[in-house]
Amino acid sequence: MAESPPIATGSEALDRIVARLAGTTDPRRRYEYVLWLAKKLQPLPEVFRNDAFKVKGCVSQVYVVGQLEDGRLHWQGDSDAAITKGLLALLIEGLEGLTPEQAVAIDPGFIAATGLQASLTPSRANGFLNILRLMQAQAKTLAG
């Protein structure tokens, strides 16, 4: 069986995460990695816990905040659900330090390559996409 070509998202960090997740066939190992990412996420300041930064279409409470410094994006976020927080952390790590143009250009097709969708509920998979879309919308706004 031929190996599938690596996904090129436009983000080296995101490519590494996707390769790591795609490289394991055990859904439990994928979940463990996502939960580990969640634990690494820094606490979100209370000031950002409002509707302006809330991800719409998520069953859980999810907040993500992009800031632009020296032309590069820096992200913060939080969720009240562990798996969702891990998915958010995956995107934060994957999009950290990109230019707004790079973040906006990321094709959500990489999500399928992670293999996570097989073990995510439809609402979580949809929430994952909604988090990415909000991050891209913020990047676009920050680009001016």
| Catalytic annotation, residues | 58
Under a CB-based contact definition with an 8 Å cutoff, are residues 65 and 144 in contact?
no
- Of 140, 138, 18, 139, nearest in space to 90 by CA: 18
In Å, what is the CA distance from 57 to each residue of 2, 20, 34, 62?
38, 28, 20, 10
